[in-house]
Each structure stands twice: as C-alpha cells, then as structure tokens.
Amino acid sequence: MNFKQFKTRIFSLFLAFGIFISSGCAQTAKSDADAQYLKNFITIYNYLQQNYVDEVDAKTLYEGALKGMMESLGDPYTVYLDVQDMRGLTDTTSGNFYGVGLSISKMNKSTPDKPAYVDVVSPIENTPGYKAGIQAGDKITEIDGDPTPDMSMEEVLSRLRGEKGTPVEVTILRGKTVTFKRTLIRDLIQVPTVESVKIGDIGYIKLIQFTPETAPSVEKAINSFDENGGYKGLIIDLRNNPGGLLDSAVNVADKFIDSGVIVSTKSRIQSENKSFSASKKTTMIKKGVPIIVLINKGSASASEILSGALKDYHIAYLVGERTYGKGSVQQVLPLREIDGTHDGVKLTVAKYYSPSDCNINKIGIPPDREVKFTEYTDEQTKVFIKMAEDEVIAKYVEAHPGMTEDDIASYASVLQKDYNLDLKLLRRLIRVETNRTKKAPIYDLDYDVQLNEAIKIINTENFSSLVRSTKTLKELQEAVVLEEDQKKTAE
C-alpha cells in the first residue's frame, strides 16, 4: 500500500464514520480543529515513512492508528477488527470455529494498580473451558505464559482460537489471590441456542445464547410442553448466557409480553433511537402462569434485555445472582476491501433501556431472590485446584466406566477424606467427568441450588403475590439514589 492508497483509505474511513454517525455530526467534522487533526495525522504518517530509521510497513501504521483510536475511548466493546478478526466474527455468528468456549471481555486501558486482565463473562457448556472448571468471574492473566494486560482483545481471541486438537495454556486468577494454570485443547465450538425439558410438570428452558434460531426454538419448546400434558409453570434459565442479537432477545420476550415496549435504544445517532414493542399476536404464555428466570453474573447483554423486560412488567420472578451489566449496543462497520479482504471496526452506538426506562450498564440486574452456591475460602479453592491437578477424578472415572449415581455418591464420600470439600460439589465434579465424552444432562438437581429454589417457588409459594411485590428496575435504581442522598444529608 503506497501513501496515496493509505491517504485515500484514511479519508474513506473518516467519510464512512461521518456518514455512519449522523448528518448532525457533519458540521463538527468540518470544523477547523478536526480538519487540522486529520492533516497532522497524515503528516506524521508521511514523516515516519520518510525518516524512521527502518523501513515502515504501511499496514502496520494503519492498524496501529486504528487500534489506538478505538482504545482511546476506554470502551471494551469498541475495537478495531483486522482481517482475521472479521473472519472470526463471521465464524462466531455462523457457529463454526475452533476454540476453548469462553465468552470474554477486556478493558482497553491497563495500569499497575488495575491490570487489564481478560474477564471470563461465562463458559459455554460442554466446551474445553467449561470442562476445565473455568467459571464466570475468573480472570485470564496469561496465555501460553504471556501476560494478557499487554494484549489487545483481538490478540486474545486469536490466541485462544486455533486448529482443532491443539493446546493452549491459560493462567487463571480466581478471587484476589488464587491462581492456577489449565491446558485447554481447542475443539469445534458450535454456537448453541436452546435446550428444553420438563421437570415433572414444570417446563424448563435453558437459553444458552441469542441467535436467529433462539426465538423459534423457544416457541418449539413451549409447543412441546403443551403437547405433552401442559405445564403449571416455566423456568427460563439465562445463567452464563453472554447475550447475542438484540432482535433475538426481543422476539423471545414477545412470546411472554402481550403489549408495551420491550426495550428501547438511545443514541446521539438519530437512526439508533429505536423502540421495540410487543405484539399480542405472538404472545404464547397466558397471564398468571408462574415464570421464574434464573440469572447470574454470567448473564449479560441480550439476557439482561429479556430478564429486565419480564421483571419490569411483573411477569417473571428473578432468582439467582446479580447479572453482568452490559447495557450497550454495538455495530460492526466493514471497511473497504484491499486484495480481496477487508477489516473493520466494532463500536458502541447506543445504550439500551428497559421498559421502565432504566439502563443497567456496569450495574447489572439484581435478583428478586438471591440464591448463591456455596462460596469457598481461598484455602478450599486451593484444595479444589490440587485435586484437579492430581487428576484423581479423571483417573478414577477412566478406570471405572459407566458409573451410576450410587457409584458417584460412594466415590464422593471416599474422595472427601483426602479433599475436604462439600459432598455436593464432589458429586458434581465426578458427574461432569463421567459426562466428559458425552453430552451432559440439561440440569443437575443434586447440585443446582438455584434451580431447586425456582422449583420450590412454583410448587409451594404464592407466585402472584411474590411477583406483584417486586420493584421495577427504575424503582430499584431510584431507591439506591434516594438512599445515597439520605446518607449525604446525614453526614
């Protein structure tokens, strides 16, 4: 790429941004200051090409400039996408790529006090990351021995992905002090959507990710419940669901909400100010049917759109833990092709708001009833890590194929003598290992305290009274503001 081509591309990029952002920004883009910034940018590029001690590759300067431009905004969701990243994005959307099965995020800015480690939003079930015991909230501090704060998000993704069967070692930080390494073997990651089953007379629908297939799959699941004896309540499991397509979340919500706004997006870009409303024609669930939504810190983005809408309309009761808190909308802007390929940028263009006009970005959605799994001390976590490193469960299961639930319970009691951990957790770990070579069951009532609580609510409590007593997201945020004001007044 010569200077003329580079200059043309840079101007094309700025033109694209000008058109993309809005006509209202055009006047600002024509200001003297902005024009001078662009001139300075091109002047420096030209100066580097002519005077730097070594010959400079135009592509290197171009990509570095765009990465810096995106990173300067301090938004982990606004990033430059090189040719490989764009291909990877297409693969992710289509559901065909090789990787480790972790949904992740990463801050752009790293400081000594707050290193920009890779945050695990959620592991995808039945993938290498999930089977290795990596959890939502863990941080990846190193990949193959290299520190992640020094990496861009795109580099992290490219290093976690690779050919099927190849290894990648990650160093995990859990909590503030416990670190351990895991070697993950890359495998085919298929973007899953929905799993469903009846638990007695309760319909259970696990939404794993929001894709174009999610809403049709939810409809199919509900129809299946109706055709097989009906259901007295529904459990919608959004735990560890990192989100996906906004339209998909809207279409799922439309199965439950018969009228009103499901979600709205607000932006300084006129075209991104949108409102998505429910239609009675597509509603499948009768009013008053008990609906429990399971959430945790791995529930993000589109998951929060769905759970927030159902909460604001007092249709569902939320059980579990506070969600991740991603209340923004991104778009991908492909750039002009060079040599038959193209790069692009992904940028935040709007924030979304729940029906009560609340944005949960960096805040999350609290459950109506908090139910947590047992929290282990650093010492217990070290015991857990040692057990995994010793591979005692893997070796035992390999030597005892076809273990039954009784076999699992018996071995857990033996294992507890050497590894002082909760029996339910030990049974869970053994059960996961026995299912390593096959698809795991959809649910685990022996271990899953949140699911058990949801079932208990439907079976024994007055759902109508419960759900009426809940506050909308807006009311919750207003209560927090009021409490903070009262504290300041008291001081």
pLDDT in tens, the chain (491 residues): 454 454 444 444 443 343 344 444 445 545 788 889 989 999 999 999 999 999 999 989 999 999 899 989 989 889 888 877 776 665 555 455 789 988 887 876 778 888 989 988 778 877 899 888 898 789 999 999 999 998 877 788 889 988 899 999 999 998 888 899 999 999 988 766 899 999 999 999 999 889 899 999 999 999 999 999 999 999 999 998 989 899 999 999 999 999 999 999 999 999 999 999 999 999 999 999 999 999 999 899 999 999 999 999 999 999 999 999 999 999 889 998 877 778 899 999 999 999 999 999 999 999 999 999 988 888 888 888 888 888 899 899 989 998 999 999 999 999 999 999 999 999 998 998 887 666 678 899 999 999 999 999 999 999 999 999 999 999 999 998 888 878 778 77
Angle at 252 between CA 241 and CA 208, to 5 degrees: 20
Query: Residue 20's pLDDT is what?
Result: 41
Helix (H, G, I), strand (E, B) or coil at 92: helix
Instruction: Using alpha carbons, select from 123, 122, 142, 140 the residue that is nearest to residue 131.
Output: 123
Return the amino acid letter for 314.
Answer: H
**Which CATH number fits the domain that encloses residue 229?**
3.90.226.10
Q: What DSSP element (H or E) covers 35?
A: helix 32-51
- Three-state secondary structure readout of 406-459: HHHHHHHHHHHCCCCCCHHHHHHHHHHHHCCCCCCCCCCCCCCHHHHHHHHHHH
| Count of the separate structural domains present in the chain | 4
According to the model, what pLDDT value does residue 437 have? Answer: 63
Compute CA distances 476 → 131, 297, 369, 450, 480, whole Å.
Answer: 37, 18, 14, 22, 6
The residue among 189, 207, 230 that closes a domain is 189
Residues 214 and 357 in one domain: yes
Q: Are 136 and 120 in contact (CB under 8 A)?
A: yes
Closest CA to 326 of 122, 138, 144: 122
Question: Are residues 115 and 98 part of one domain?
Answer: yes
- 214 and 330 housed in the same domain: yes
The CATH number of residue 90's host domain is 2.30.42.10
Pair 112, 215 in one domain:
no
What's the burial of 219, exposed, middle or buried (CB within 10 Å: 0-12/13-18/19+)?
middle
Which residues have a catalytic role annotated? 301, 312, 326
Out of 56, 72, 99, a domain closes at 56
My answer on whether 139 and 206 are in the same domain is no
Helices 405-416 & 423-434, crossing angle to 10 degrees? 130
Q: Are residues 365 and 414 both part of a single domain?
A: no
Give the span between the Cα atoms of 73 and 78, in whole angstroms. 8
User: Is 119 inside any structural domain?
Assistant: yes
Q: Identify which of 308, 261, 260, 315 has the alpha carbon closest to the alpha carbon of residue 292.
A: 315
State residue 318's pLDDT score: 98
Q: Is residue 250 part of a domain?
A: yes
Task: Look at residue 484 in the predicted model and tell me its pLDDT.
Answer: 80
Phi, psi dihedral angles at 267 (to 5 degrees): -155, 165
Q: Is residue 66 part of a domain?
A: no
Which pLDDT score, from 0 to 100, does residue 278 have?
Answer: 97
- pLDDT the model gives residue 438: 67
Last residue of a domain, one of 13, 40, 56: 56
- At residue 16, the pLDDT reads 38
Same domain, 271 and 297: yes
The answer to whether residue 486 is domain-embedded is: no
> What b/e sequence results for 409-440 when a residue is b if at least 16 CB atoms lie within 10 Å of its CB, and e otherwise?
bebbeebeeebebeebbbbbbbbbbbeeeeee
> Residue 371: CB partners within 8 Å, gap ≥ 6?
319, 320, 321, 449, 450, 453
The reply to whether 305 falls in a domain is: yes
- Please tell me whether residues 257 and 354 are part of one structural domain: yes
- Is the residue at 94 inside a domain? yes
- 72 falls within a domain: no
Rounding to the nearest 10 degrees, give the CA dihedral for residues 91, 95, 97, 98: 160
Given this model, what pLDDT does residue 11 score?
41
CA distances from 378 to 42, 290, 322, 442 (A): 53, 39, 22, 30
Domain assignment of residue 472, yes or no: no
Residues 381, 367, single domain; the answer is no
Is the same domain home to 237 and 350? Answer: yes
**From residue 220, how far is each of 148, 215, 361 by CA, in Å?**
42, 9, 32
Same-domain check for residues 239 and 301: yes
* Plot region of 74 (φ>0 → left; ψ -120 to 50 → alpha; else → beta): left
Find the domain containing 50 and state its range.
3-56
Paired sense of beta strands 202-207 and 233-237, if any: parallel
Q: What is the dihedral of CA 286, 291, 296, 299, to 10 degrees?
A: -10
Name the token pair of 306. 């769905």
Examine the domain organization and report whether 444 and 385 are in the same domain: yes
